[in-house]
Amino acid sequence: MNKDNMRSNLLDRFRISDADFLGSGMEAEVYALDDQRVLKVYNDLSDARRQERLRNFYAGLKADHLSYELPYIHDILVENGTLVTIEKRMQGSDLQSKLAGMTHDEQTNMMKTYLQANLELQSLQGSSTMEGFQLFHDHRMSSGRMDNWYDLLSETIKLKQTELKPYFEGDVRDYGAKLTLIMERLATGYEGDYSIIHGDFYPGNILINEKHDVTGLIDFGMLTMYGDYLFDLAIGWVCLDMYNQLNANLRERYLEIIVLTLGEGVRKDLYFYVLLYSLMTANLYSPTCEDGHYRWCVENLNREKYWEVT
């Protein structure tokens, strides 16, 4: 049976039609099951063990102080070799799809709300442990050597550079010297407060209602960690209209809002974490570094003002 027939049979099994399709991400297609639940149909990028880990993580979150919803997995099934989950249906539309239709002032107000939603995550507590400071531990790295969040970042970057070095050497100016600066700073250790880091806090994972209130945050996962909340803030900033498709200077405007709210001192940390994110994810979508995300990461790594604070 081919994949299309398997998918059709699976949807029939749950009495779902193509009209119930809500959207898709890197790992799964999402369908409305009823008013309270959705069905996620996964591709080969996930497995049942990973989803069980995620279910336990969600179940252990203590989110009483958040003004918006977080995901919850009700059930994990394997149907004819296809992984599916039944999850809580969260209300709202993704922010990324709504930004273009907002006026300048609405965008500004939305960015202030977006920032507050990000800052709220500092209050989030969890009952499940994170081996080696990350939700999904990469077993190519030894968690025994990790006594500090910066140890995780250092080991991750070392591992990723075995894949990325041949590409970065040709595309990133002074790549070797820049990598040395990064590793030297990480070697000093992280000394701040620890918080749960979502790891992919950007408009595509933020749900809002018609009043532009944030109603939900979805898709914890690969970069969910335990460390500095400013890492999430940096991702939320640099991935806001990351390719400047709206031509509205959102990144510059949002950075100004962040600095006005938290103080000039956060700027250097935001720049630093953008560099780390670029070193860690450049080949996330294309192992051979042939896509727009890789070029975007290279652009960040060649932006000299980001290096003035390392």
Domain definitions of the chain by residue range: 3-88, 93-307
- Give the separation between CA 225 and CA 131, rounded to whole angstroms: 9
The pLDDT confidence band at residue 51, using thresholds 50, 70 and 90, is very high
Confidence label for 306 from pLDDT (cuts 50, 70 and 90): very high
Q: What is the pTM of this model?
A: 0.93
With cut-offs at 50, 70 and 90, classify the pLDDT of residue 140: confident
In terms of Cα–Cα distance, which of 63, 120, 118, 113 is closest to 213? 113
Residue 1 above 60 pLDDT? no
Q: What is the mean pLDDT of residues 274-298?
A: 97
The second-level CATH assignment, the architecture, of 3-88 is 2-Layer Sandwich (3.30)
138-147, 269-278, 301-310: the lowest-pLDDT one: 138-147
Least confident of 19-28, 37-46, 130-139, 176-185: 130-139
Task: Please check the confidence at residue 151 and state whether its pLDDT lies above 90.
Answer: yes
Q: How many CB atoms lie within 10 A of CB 46?
A: 17
Average pLDDT score over residue span 116-122: 96
May I ask the CATH class of domain 93-307?
alpha beta
Q: Which residues contact 26 (CB under 8 A, 6 or more apart)?
A: 45, 285
CA atoms within 13 A on the CB side of 45: 12
Percentage of the chain modeled with pLDDT above 70? 97
Per-residue confidence at 143, pLDDT binned at 50, 70, 90?
A: low
Where do the DSSP E strands lie in 98-151? 125-126
Task: Compute the average pLDDT of residues 222-251.
Answer: 94
What is the reported pLDDT for 309? 64
pLDDT score at 198? 97
Whole-number mean pLDDT of the chain?
93
Q: Between β-strands 21-24 and 73-79, what pairing exists: parallel, antiparallel or unpaired?
A: unpaired
Q: What are 82's two structure tokens?
A: 């296809």
CA 233 from centroid of its chain's CA atoms: 11
